[in-house]
Amino acid sequence: MRQAVSMVSLLGFRLQALSSALGRPLSCTQTKILGRDRVMLMESLVVGDIAELRPNQGTLSLFTNEAGGILDDLIVTNTSEGHLYVVSNAGCWNKDLVLMQEKVRELQNQGRDVGLEVVHNALLALQGPTAAQVLQAGVADDLRKLPFMTSAVMEVFGVSGCRVTRCGYTGEDGVEISVPAVGAVHLATALLENSEVKLAGLAARDSLRLEAGLCLYGNDIDEHTTPVEGSLSWTLGKRRRAVMDFPGAKIIVPQLKDKVQRRRVGLMCEGAPMRAHSAILNMEGTMIGMVTSGCPSPCLKKNVAMGYVPWEYSRPGTTLLVEVRRKQQMAVVSKMPFVPTHYYILK
């Protein structure tokens, strides 16, 4: 069982650079898509049904290319302020921005009403079983009314203009807070004054997202991976599947009915930890795939990993071999998430 301690990680810029980042542009991952045709713009780039989002509701989606590959994963929120709020990976920021800017220019040349604005905010992630309790002390809004994948703009510990989104890449309850740069240090300090909150780096977040079976772009999914191969078919909007109007639809949609050649699976083993690039073999010793992410699970006291194997080896319970430190050890294909998630859902 995970400890009842919340953690705060600082996204969009280096932790050690926090104090020096005030008043300066940050390594931004946040964008506003503006105009009457904003939904049309976003749906021309991603696989999700953006039009169906209610005010202040968000969804995880995927930028795809015409070959069906994943260019990045991102969260799109339909705000009540009349724009789409987009958060994408910092490591893919440059190509994501160019992708969106080029589409904006294309649609503007067609007479469409669209625009793009970069949001120069910091992004703080407060995650864990007590995250809502910790944050509630610093906001007037009732966080019980903010379920998973919804957001609201509010004042947080005296910092106005913060967008609080009930989400995070850990499998736990929590929020990501988009905070104006000038208030980032104050807000982080206020959160850390609570003894329930501990600073956490990328290693902690990596083990949490792995236990939750969540992908890391560049490791588990990339431009050569389709959503179906990556076990991310659920990101494809029902309407979008029917009309097939997103990039790569002619490749991706048929894969929903036909067995793809390979599939992302979870793996569990004891012994030495499985790491990225470890070879996956069948029981006859023939290499059939590769581990993409792996680490010891602090909760399960076992080693967990994700990787790609041919369809016929993807059934949970299948026994395989993984080569670790030049030795072969047994691993079992396992359902994900490895550890149950605890997202806050209204009942």
Which tokens belong to 294?
A: 């792996």
| DSSP character at residue 150 | B
| DSSP character at residue 332 | E
Which alpha helices (DSSP H) does 16-74 contain, by range?
38-43
Instruction: Name 269's bridge partners.
Output: 303
Tell me what percent of the chain is helix, strand and coil, each rounded to the nearest 5: 25, 35, 45
Which tokens belong to 237?
A: 């909007």
Strand segments (E) across the chain: 6-11, 30-34, 57-64, 70-78, 84-88, 115-119, 121-127, 151-156, 159-165, 174-180, 197-199, 262-269, 279-281, 287-297, 302-310, 319-324, 327-334
Residue at token pair 């699970």: 297
Of 167, 159, 80, give the one whose Cα is nearest residue 132. 167
Cα–Cα distance, 332 to 324 (Å, whole number): 15
The verdict on whether residue 66 carries a ligand-binding annotation is: no
Residues contributing to the annotated binding site: 176
Residues contributing to the annotated binding site for substrate: 176
